[in-house]
Amino acid sequence: MRIPILPTALALACYAHLTCALLTLQTMRNLTVITDECREHIVDGSETLGEVDEMARALMGDQRLLRGGNEDEHGMEVEDSRPWHEGAPNLCLIPDFALRFLLIIRFRQTIAASLHLLCSFLLAELEKPLDLTLEPPEQNCTVTTTQYHAFLYSTANFLLPIQERQMKYRWTSQSAVFENLGWFQALWASRKTNSQDRSFIEQQIELYKEGSCFEKNEVLRRGVEVVEWLNDLIDMFA
């Protein structure tokens, strides 16, 4: 049987596996940028919430002034810097409560939308057929590993505020946040979520195999860590 002679080692590896690594180093750089942008949407949202906290405190202060008089000895009961959901319902706080409730819904929508955006981008990248002429492989391991760690750092930085919000607001498995986290987890871990039949982790392994810049199984191990974190996060939804 005639063995076809292929121009490069990478092409040979591709031939042997029938499919190739579909990601490029540029894809990973682009993913890092978009992950950071998605995180900013989420964090900006919480700054808005912080501003409303300030407004609410100012308003509550005004209400205390208005009440004044015989309420003096119980005045401190109204003065309350606890988060809204910890105190007993208080009629004075209803407008503030409603405002915060709406903001928290919007906040949930922002997280779900950011996850959705990131997943859509990731899926599009995972589906792209490889064009070997697109980019020469990076030869400098310092550059490759630095960029890989920057990508992992962005991913962790993106998941952390989501985890913090989930601990605080306890959204349920009916929420769009839950649904999109499930999609994100599946893209990382499952072959079934894209038509190239390789999970994101497998594609990363394939991509980084070439330069031998990493310790044995490092890319697999770090990928599994992300998926385990996602699993724990998903388990937090009642």
Ligand X SMILES: *[C@@H]1O[C@H](CO)[C@@H](O)[C@H](O)[C@H]1NC(C)=O
Shortest Å distance, C-beta 25 to ligand X: 9
Number of residues that bind ligand X (CB under 6 A): 7
Q: Least distance to ligand X from the beta carbon of 162, Å?
A: 24
Give me the residue label for tokens 């890989």.
Answer: 148
Among candidate residues 232, 98, 107, the one with its CA nearest the CA of residue 171? 107
C-beta separation of 105 from 85 below 8 A:
no
Among 8, 30, 195, 217, binds ligand X (CB under 6 A): 30
Per CB under 6 A, 102 contacts ligand X: no
Measured from the CB atom, the residue of 140 and 217 that comes closer to ligand X is: 140
Tell me the C-alpha to C-alpha distance, in Å, between residue 65 and each of 23, 61, 209.
Answer: 62, 6, 68
Residues between 10 and 29 with contacts to ligand X, criterion CB under 6 A:
24, 26-27
Q: What are phi and psi of 77, to 5 degrees?
A: -65, -35
Pattern of binders to ligand X over 113-142, x per CB under 6 A? ---------------------------x-x
Closer residue to ligand X (CB): 22 or 159: 22
DSSP-derived secondary structure letter, 133 = T
Cα three-residue angle 111-104-188, rounded to 5 degrees: 20
| Residues near ligand X (CB under 6 A) | 24, 26-27, 30, 140, 142-143
